[in-house]
Structure 1
Amino acid sequence: MAGFWWGLLASSSLLLGAAVVLWRPPGKRAIGLIMAFGAGVLISAVAYDLVEDASRSASGWVLLAGLAGGALTFFVGDLLIDRMGGNGRKRSTGEQSNGSGGAIALGTVLDGIPESVVLGSTLVGGNGVSVAMLAAVFLSNLPEAMSATSGLVKSGTSRGRLWLLWGGTTAVSAVAAGVGYLALGSASGATVAVVQAFAAGALLTMLVDTMIPEATEFGGPVTGLVTVLGFATAFGLSALN
């Protein structure tokens, strides 16, 4: 239950991001810059809270295999979802109008599961949740939800369906965090390391596929600076933690 509640807290920013857009839709540049900040946060979390931590318990070849497995799994899953009608599900430009609601929902859940499982796994060992990973998941989910909600609103999606989408994704992410702790609570350090590397590969692939293009397209010249700010913020939290 601890994993579930921490996962629920981290994924609640999906609902917060949707609420912000429905209350007062931000401009494309604002969404792009928030997306850049979230991408920087997640890159830092992948580097220091996943890969670096995993490197203490597994060899380099095992980590490379985990990274490749996570990247390929996400790539194939994302490709299948795109063909089902989930292409452009996180774009703020309304490309979702030609897509499938079920595929968009499935793709949104796919994007959130790896980070939630890893968040739950940080409870293993009894030292409490990783503050840096918690902040990374929360801060990265916010711009993702804002961008996707903006696009879904433009495509004509009703508010009821939007709340159902983000509420369902939040619930699934919370369950995934609980499962992450339950499955890895008694696992060896090497097994946890493989899962961390697998999630890192999936998250990096997701970042380049869904977050960074949006940030680069709409954020303007300062996009890189804002991304570094997000990276530095997450690194600072990791160092304090």
Structure 2
Amino acid sequence: MLLTIVVILVVSGALLLGAAWGIYGRLPKPLEGFIVALAGGALIVSAVLELIEPAMKKAPLWQAFALVLLGAAVFTGLAYLVKKKWGSASGGGLLAAITLDGIPENLALGVALIGAGPLQVAALSGSIFLSNLPEAAGGAKEMAESGKSKGKVFALWAATAVLLSIAALAGNVLMADAPQQLLALIQCFAGGAVVASLATEVFPKAFKEDAYWAGIATAIGLILALYLDQLA
């Protein structure tokens, strides 16, 4: 349980650090885009190797594939509705991305912590950390620049971090005795949501800020995440 709490604090803490960085820190936009792309590359590996592929061994393929598609469809649909309400320049899109894919993602993280070794946990949590940090920074910065109170923006991201921490704890505690097939389907849903967030939020933002260097950064992130996976 101690390992679970530490991992959850590290992953959710990335939202707080990212929000503080976005509100109060200053980085050149190309560097921000490079970091976002780096995180996206890492999250590709996390989605495939830590969520979807292991789940495919525990559930029928058609169910696994269906849940991947469902996760992507749910994320895309809800993110579209949120953007229509808040607007694309308010940072609300990235907040929606982190929340909507983060709940099943952290639920799956909690599930993955059941019986997992430290290195296995590090591979998944490290990728999620790398993704949450720059996404939170970008979203919080845009929200602050749109005229919202910096304190309120930070409080909103802090509330999101708490929500995602609860999701991870729920996954670890409530799902401890759940059937393996159900856990596998939850992981597939999370993987689909992650893939959709990469396509609609992460990589478009990275390319906008850093142009073609984003391609190099994505490859670097992918290599780093693969290295972590090999350690596991």
Q: For 1:197 and 1:15, locate their aligned partners in 2 and report how far apart those are by CA, in whole Å.
A: 27
Unaligned runs of 5+ in 1: 89-94
Offset, 1:169: 0.9
Q: Supply the distance in 1 between the matched residues of 2:225 and 2:31 (Cα, whole angstroms).
A: 20
Aligned residue type for 1:223 = A
Q: 1:33 to 1:105 in 2, by over 3 A?
A: closer
The aligned counterpart of 2:66 is: 65
Measured in 2, the distance between the counterparts of 1:108 and 1:125 equals 26
| Aligned residue among 90, 93, 97 for 1:96 | 90
- 1:75 is matched with 76
Match of 1:219 in 2: 210
Matching residue of 1:91: none
Q: CA deviation at 1:57?
A: 1.1
SS in 2 for 1:130: helix
For structure 2, which runs of at least 5 residues remain unmatched after alignment? none
How far is 1:152 from its partner? 1.4
Report matched runs for 1:145-160 at 5 Å: 145-160=136-151
Q: Render the CA deviation track for 1:171-222: whole Å, top value 9, x for unaligned.
A: 1111010011123211122111111111100111111111110111111222
Cα separation, 2, equivalents of 1:194 and 1:108: 20
Q: TM-score, structure 2 length as denominator?
A: 0.90
Q: What letter is aligned with 1:121? A: V
Q: Secondary structure at the match of 1:38?
A: helix
2: CA distance, partners of 1:125 / 1:43: 24
Distance 1:179 1:39, change over 3 A: same
| CA–CA separation in structure 1 for the residues paired with 2:222 and 2:96 | 28
Shift in Å, 1:126:
5.4
Residue from 87, 97, 100 that aligns with 1:110: 100
In the TM superposition, what is the alpha-carbon distance from 1:110 to its structure 2 partner?
A: 2.1
**Structure-1-length-normalised TM-score:** 0.87
Aligned residues: 230
Counterpart of 2:49 in structure 1: which amino acid?
Y
Rounded Cα–Cα distance in structure 2 between residues aligned with 1:19 and 1:79: 26
**How high is the sequence identity, in percent, across the aligned residues?**
31
Q: Which moved more, 1:163-172 or 1:128-137?
A: 128-137
Counterpart CA distance in 2 for 1:171 and 1:233 is 28
C-alpha root-mean-square deviation of aligned residues, in Å?
Answer: 2.1
The one-letter code matched in structure 2 to 1:6 is: V
* Aligned residue in 1 for 2:112: 122
Distance 2:224 2:54 in 1: 18
**Cα distance in 1, alignment partners of residues 66 and 75 from structure 2:** 14
Kindly indicate whether residue 71 of structure 2 is the aligned counterpart of residue 38 of structure 1: no
Partner of 2:90: helix, strand, or coil? helix
2:194 and 2:34 map into 1 onto residues whose CA distance is: 19
For 2:231 and 2:116, the matched residues in 1 are separated by 18
Deviation (angstroms), 1:19: 2.0
Q: What is residue 21 of structure 1 aligned with on the other side?
A: 22
Shift of 1:80: 2.5
Q: Structure 1 residues 219, 235: closer, same or farther in 2, change over 3 A?
A: same
For residues 167-178 of structure 1, what are the structure 2 equivalents within 5 Å? 167-178=158-169
Aligned partners of 1:40 and 1:199: how far apart in 2? 17
The 3-state SS of whatever aligns with 2:177 is coil
